[in-house]
Amino acid sequence: MATKWWGWGEEQRTFPLPHGEQFWAHVSSWLGELGVGQRIESLAEVALPPSRLESKALDALRAASGADSLSTDSVDRAVHSLGKSYCDLVRIRRGEIPHATDAVVYPETEEQVAALLNAAAERGIAVIPFGGGTSVLGGVEPLGSKPTVTLDLQRMNRLLQLDPLAATATLEAGVLGPSLEQQLNANGFTLGHFPQSFEYSSLGGWIATRSAGQNSTLYGKIEHRVESLRMAFPGGTIATPAVPAAAAGPDLNQMIAGSEGVLGVITQATVRLAPLPKRCDYRGYVFPSFQAGVEASRELMQSGLTPSVLRLSDETETEVSLAMRPPPRALMAAAEGLYLALRRISFEGTALMIVGFDGDEDQVRSDWRRAHRILRRHEGSSLGRRPGRAWERARFEHPYLRDLLLDHAIMVDTLETAVTWDRYLALYGSVRDAMAKAMDGRGLVMAHLSHAYSDGASLYYTFLARQAAGQEMEQWQQVKVAATDAIIAAGGALSHHHGIGSDHQPWMSRYLGPAGVRTLAALKQTFDPHGLMNPGKLMPTSEDDSDVSDV
């Protein structure tokens, strides 16, 4: 099925709002009168400049990858020149593609990738790896003055080997989430990695950005699942040893993970698998406050239990989530109201938690007995399995809601961080307040806890406001700078799982410090001395580069 160039996912798919009038009435009460978003009818309306690659360069790229593997078609170039960030969608909906790639190449093998990189290096052509194109931080946009070719790895999607004894699988980097899981599930395994972009993002993209799936509290972030990697770079290929652990100097897997294409192109990975769980039991709990839920989450994570899912919405996100619920029929409403009244549960001003365990029947039952006691100690009230099932059904649908909000001229974006428990609530409040101030108090800021650890957890913010017509990018920039400055000041991670791209790059010097910047620069010099790999991403341009005025 065709995918949207102007939004998320499949062309005919949208976010389900069975009672849209109720939801939009709530949105209007929060943000004021809604408008109509701008969107051109077709990419045919976009006038891209001609490809800067001369015929000899195009012939060399075709020779490296096959005659039918290269495209200079304007639509192909357009959709490969932007990702899926708020800024990307605002621009492409207006028909603005400020930095177009000059060609798109679809290699089928690692050998073709290596040949393409060598051909590009000989001619000073920049190269951008492209997995599913779901970057939300400017990770795939061509930047800099060099002619650029985008390497779309979608044809490199094979399962190369599965070792049931070691519980590992070797896959090509272009495989998308659904295909990867289908191939593993057929053999009784799972990778357990389910980011919100799961349906459209790739294994190589996950590794290149240190992605976290929604079940990461049990299965770990993607870098924890990697046993070994292969990466092609201009002039060579690096392959890390396929061993469970080693003490042979710094871990090269971790050096490549998170490199975002600035060192080379990840071509394949051997990943650690888990058996398909026999039972997945997710439930809802409501807490009297976000603070109470945070304390319950901390104790749960430090008790020795390992939930598969642990997600706690703050009071505002809980309110928004309830606004999207279809109003129950009268009989159901009465029964639900009586049930909640008898248990003295009120949703007003509360924080909703989705928490669950994967495993065999006995283990899940045992885990739930212990977890319930902990959650009850912090005034958590059980809502049963229904909220957990509803969350699981809709877990990949929320990006489609962004399309609807953009259609109503609403600025909507997300950002995330991670911080230790002792600073968690302070960071939560300071970042929320910084974003609200940047929107002059006329927007909506909400957050949730997820991806939890024994020493802390991530915080994931969503912010909304009516678009400032004609100043959409400046409006977004003001909020982004305020929020990121507040995160750094409060000691949070610059990014927990979205990566860096070009949007976060201006803060990297401040975040890593001079020694950290020199370390990244030395890696870049080793693998890509001519600066051809994904220019303008991840790497600061100098050790003291901390100017965020043009974010």
As annotated, the active-site residues are 460
The full DSSP string for 274-295 is: EEPPSEEEEEEEEESSHHHHHH
| % helix, strand, coil for the chain, step of 5 | 40, 20, 40
Residue 417 three-state SS: strand
| 3-class DSSP assignment, residue 186 | coil
Could you count the other beta carbons within 10 Å of the beta carbon of residue 383? 21
Identify which of 63, 71, 156, 152 has the alpha carbon closest to the alpha carbon of residue 108. Answer: 156
Radius of gyration for the chain, computed over Cα atoms and rounded to the nearest angstrom: 24
Locus of tokens 């073709």: 112
Separation of alpha carbons 83 and 346, rounded Å: 41
| Separation between Cα atoms, residue 106 and residue 113, nearest integer Å | 9
CA 374, chain centre distance (Å):
30
Q: Is 550 exposed, middle or buried (0-12, 13-18, 19+ CB in 10 A)?
A: exposed
Q: CA torsion sign, 460 to 465 to 470 to 471? A: negative
**CA dist., res. 490 & res. 286, Å (int):** 28
Distance CA 206, CA 183 (A): 18
Query: What 3 state SS string does 145-173 have?
Result: CCCEEEEECCCCCCEEEEECCCCEEEEEC
